[in-house]
């Protein structure tokens, strides 16, 4: 099983606020949506953070957003809505990407992502 990084983890790592504790044998992934989220804010980060981000992008597989992820995210959104719960659409798409590719999602946002049944988190 791989690990899919959420943007909050990456931003903390890039800012030097968090050190990652990963198993060296784990496959690391980013979702295309997470790339967008981090890239949108990277210009406001230090030169070192931008360099680290570019290095990370060069060696990490990017998982695309496909019809399968979109359909799964929509089904999860409907179930949550029926239960009176909300999760932001970008988070639903990231969760669906993790679930589709059998990855654990590494995130600090356990409160929102914890609402999603079947999502493995770290």
- Encode pLDDT of 48-69 as tens digits: 999 999 998 998 999 999 999 9
Reported pTM? 0.89
Residue 25 reports pLDDT greater than 90: no
Instruction: Write down the pLDDT at residue 85.
Output: 94
Other CB atoms within a 10 A radius of the CB of residue 78 amount to: 10
Q: Write the class of the CATH domain 2-113.
A: alpha beta
* Integer Cα distance of 95 and 113 in angstroms: 7
Confidence of residue 14 (pLDDT cuts 50, 70, 90): confident
Q: Which two tokens stand for residue 1?
A: 């099983």
Instruction: Classify 17 as helix, strand or coil.
Output: coil
Show me where the domains of the chain are located: 2-113
Instruction: Write down the pLDDT at residue 5.
Output: 94
């Amino acid at each position: 099983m791989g690990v899919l990084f959420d943007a909050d983890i990456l931003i903390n790592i890039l800012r030097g606020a968090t050190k990652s504790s990963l198993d060296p044998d784990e496959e690391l992934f980013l979702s295309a949506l997470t790339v967008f989220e981090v890239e949108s804010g990277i210009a406001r980060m230090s030169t070192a953070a931008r360099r680290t981000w570019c290095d990370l992008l060069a060696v990490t597989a990017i998982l695309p957003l496909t019809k399968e992820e979109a359909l799964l995210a929509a089904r999860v959104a409907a179930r949550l809505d029926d239960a009176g719960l909300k999760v932001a659409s970008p988070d639903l798409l990231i969760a669906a990407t993790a679930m589709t590719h059998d990855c654990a999602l590494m995130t600090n946002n356990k409160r929102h992502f914890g609402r999603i049944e079947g999502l493995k988190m770290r």
